[in-house]
Structure 1
Amino acid sequence: MSIPKALFQPLQVGPLTLKNRVGMAAMTRNRSTPTSVPNDLNIEYYRQRAAGGAGLIVSEGTLISPQGSEWPNAPGIWSDAHIDGWSRVTAAVHQEGGKIYSQLWHLGRVNHPDAPEHKKSGDPVYAPSAIAARGGKFSFLPGAPGYVTPTPVEDPATLLPAWRQAALNAQEAGFDGVEVHGANGYLISQFLDSTSNKRTDKWGGSVENRSRFGLEVLREVCDVWGPEQVAIKLNPCGGYNDVGMPLEETKETYSHFITEADKMKLGYICLVRYAKALDQTVDGKLRGTKHDVLSTYAPLIKHARKFANAGFSGAEAEKVVAQGLVDGVFFGIPWVSNPDFAERLERGKKPNMAIDFAALYANGAKGYIDYPEID
């Protein structure tokens, strides 16, 4: 196994110097028990992966408000308790010489009014339009109900302060920056997608109007952090959580959004390419819009760093970085069972792919912090 060269060159992202271009993508692990506050298990999980050589860690999706929560033990960042919990995580990462961004996350319509944290909020499930997502089940709730028809948010601008406060809280918790979650059928992509956004006001209809909410979120967060420490993750192929437009409309929408976001001179834009695991079968057909994400959209990014994500091998990641198509690659699943994944890549060692999938979203240390490191 040849040792990758391009992946292990340092990379400047805004004020940060990353030691390599091997990122750890956000992955929900459902371990913030008994509530949504990071705990000692979470601290050890992130510490291990910082010690294992990640150039940049992006936290698991971190909920910006109880209104936007789904997973019962996913972490939040809307309270002082969350700030305190995450402060211990970032301190552990920094002690190992790592860098970590917080991924700011709002689920929008793919939430349920009976989800534990959401129930405490007293709010309805908000979305751009009263269109329920298809195909999902809330297995942690009695009877495993599906998605509800959401309440259209009357003025989407009223949601922006929650993003701002989350950005402020992430700053106080010691993160090195924030990644806005604009992918995978969550709130921002619900606004972008014409199948979930049927509004006729300034927040829907045209490409410019459907892009407005996500761009306003970025402006809000950039006002807190400065654009060079803000990023966004996008999945133009859709599929996951019942989003996806016809190909030409997809290209038009995401080309506009990426071009406008890039004008802000963000730290990076992460492009999620098509992966069958991120697609969804609805009415017997795959929901996503398969196309070459990197060749279509990466050339539009002129100011931000470019990262790719979804199903890369080490060799493939080395190739796209060496070719200059992207500046770095985020890996997800390999980091689950390889706390030292970047070190393995650098030393030409095969990753351990014996993953305990039954423990992926379980509680406790098993299948979380008990995977072996290389000698």
Structure 2
Amino acid sequence: MEDQEKDQIPLSTPYKMGNFQLAHRIVLAPLTRCRSYDSIPQSHAILYYSQRTTKGGFLISEATCISSAAQGFKDAPGIWSKVHIEAWKPIVDAVHAKGGVFFCQLWHPGRASDQSFEPNAGQPPVSSTDKQCSPVVENDGEVTFNFLPPLKLKTDEVSLVANDYRIAARNAIEAGFDGVEIHGAHGYLIDQFLKDQVNDRTDKYGGSLENRCRFALEVVESIANEIGADRVGIRLSPFADYMDSEDSNPEGLGLHMAKSLNKYGILYCHMVEPRMKQVEERSEFSISLRPMRRAFNGTFIAAGGYKRDDGNTAITEEHADLIAYGRLFLANPDLPKRFELHAQLNKYDRKTFYTTDPVVGYTDYPFLEKM
């Protein structure tokens, strides 16, 4: 392709996130890829993540299961055992070799899991509730996930799950990750406690806004105490309705969490735009996250359908410090360079998002210099 001059756009400006000096504001969002066979990260992930690494770039791993009882997708990676730690090490090393900053996203799907993934055959997954999650139905009407009623965690069992997060965080650091992101979004376990449409508890983890946020904040505190608050981030989606998880006052929920997180001094808060309900895609960004951004003292990351131009606008107008890109980064391993050059983007192929193929739709998207 013809030579193009670089454009110093807001997204390509440097940023200091705690102890990490980032070269630009473009973050690889956590993206489930279903290529960690039997929960073990594979060698092909070395190429996948290193392709998307730039010096001073920030990457967040795909959702990574914190325990054998926390598996939500077939062939999603784990971080609960020594085998997982050792499998992640060469992947993390490859990112570090190119100068990237790499965080591991810690995930428990809660009721949004199939019984076949549970370690004890036939035992339902756990949740804040015993209410069943609606099936996941694709646009063509095909049911891809059909969930059964979960087991409601007893009050004294909730802290045991929080401890699983703590151990997983410790394991992630042992594997070489620079930090962890707690997955508190999109209808998974933590979100099942946060949202009043799901949480029907009458104990200290249910009812009031403060009680519904208690579990999330206990997880944050436990992990911060284990690995240091300067290595901890959290992802939240107060406005989302994924997996039947909706709240009657998402603005209040998001603002309460943003303010409460300041007590623990964590590194960043990563929030999903309200426009991202189900599979809706829009190019403009909203201002609905602005109160949360102003309330939170650390780095604020925004995600949800961003393109190049509205990402630049979001940085310029201080809507966020960093912008997370998912599908565009999946299909364009050199996305920061393409944005700088205002170059054409590869189109992503949804049909290959969640296959088990180690190459197709995974590491075969072309770079600019190969076009």
What is the percentage of aligned positions where both structures have the same residue? 32
Count of aligned pairs between the two proteins: 354
Question: Once structures 1 and 2 are overlaid, which stretch shifts more, 162-171 or 253-262?
Answer: 253-262
1:41 aligns with 2:44: yes
> Are the counterparts in 1 of residues 124 and 149 from structure 2 also a CA contact under 8 Å?
no
User: Corresponding residue for 1:270?
Assistant: 270
SS of equivalent residue, structure 2 residue 39: coil
Displacement of 1:112 = 1.9
> Are the counterparts in 2 of residues 67 and 123 from structure 1 also a CA contact under 8 Å?
no
Q: Within 1, Cα distance between the matches of 2:63 and 2:188?
A: 11
User: Corresponding residue for 1:284?
Assistant: none
User: Corresponding residue for 2:349?
Assistant: 356
1:104 aligns with 2:97: no
Displacement of 1:121 = 7.8
Counterpart AA for 1:306: F
SS of equivalent residue, structure 2 residue 53: helix
Displacement of 1:276 = 4.5
Q: Within 1, Cα distance between the matches of 2:133 and 2:17?
A: 36
Displacement of 1:320 = 1.1
Displacement of 1:296 = 3.5
Q: What are the Cα deviations for residues 315-344 of structure 1, in whole angstroms up to 9, with x where unaligned?
A: 111111112221110000011111111111
SS of equivalent residue, structure 1 residue 315: helix
Q: Within 2, Cα distance between the matches of 1:320 and 1:48?
A: 26
Displacement of 1:97 = 1.0
Among 278, 292, 295, the alignment partner of 1:300 is: 295
User: How does the TM-score come out when normalised to structure 2?
Assistant: 0.90
Q: Quote the RMSD (CA, aligned, Å).
A: 2.1
Counterpart AA for 1:27: L
Displacement of 1:263 = 2.6
Q: What are the Cα deviations for residues 115-163 of structure 1, in whole angstroms up to 9, with x where unaligned?
A: 2xx235885411011111113269xxxx966111111111211211100
Among 82, 86, 89, the alignment partner of 2:88 is: 86
How has the CA–CA distance of structure 1 residues 92 and 120 changed in structure 2, closer, same or farther, with 3 Å as cutoff?
Answer: farther
> Are the counterparts in 1 of residues 240 and 276 from structure 2 also a CA contact under 8 Å?
no
SS of equivalent residue, structure 1 residue 101: strand
User: Corresponding residue for 2:34?
Assistant: 30
User: How does the TM-score come out when normalised to structure 1?
Assistant: 0.89
Q: Within 1, Cα distance between the matches of 2:234 and 2:107?
A: 11
User: Corresponding residue for 1:367?
Assistant: 361
Among 67, 70, 75, the alignment partner of 1:68 is: 70
Q: Within 2, Cα distance between the matches of 1:180 and 1:347?
A: 33
Question: What are the within-5 Å matches in structure 2 for residues 13-24 of structure 1?
Answer: 13-24=17-28
Question: What are the within-5 Å matches in structure 2 for residues 1-375 of structure 1?
Answer: 3-33=7-37, 35-51=38-54, 55-115=57-117, 118-120=118-120, 124-136=124-136, 146-154=146-154, 155=156, 156-246=158-248, 249-276=249-276, 278=278, 292-301=287-296, 303-353=297-347, 355-364=348-357, 365-375=359-369
Displacement of 1:29 = 0.6
Displacement of 1:291 = 7.6
Displacement of 1:350 = 2.2
Q: Within 1, Cα distance between the matches of 2:48 and 2:324?
A: 17
Structure 1: tracts of 5 or more residues without a match: 281-289
Q: Within 2, Cα distance between the matches of 1:291 and 1:200?
A: 35
User: Corresponding residue for 1:287?
Assistant: none
> Are the counterparts in 2 of residues 4 and 315 from structure 1 also a CA contact under 8 Å?
no
> Are the counterparts in 2 of residues 239 and 279 from structure 1 also a CA contact under 8 Å?
no
Displacement of 1:239 = 1.2
Q: Within 1, Cα distance between the matches of 2:122 and 2:337?
A: 46
Q: Within 2, Cα distance between the matches of 1:122 and 1:133?
A: 17
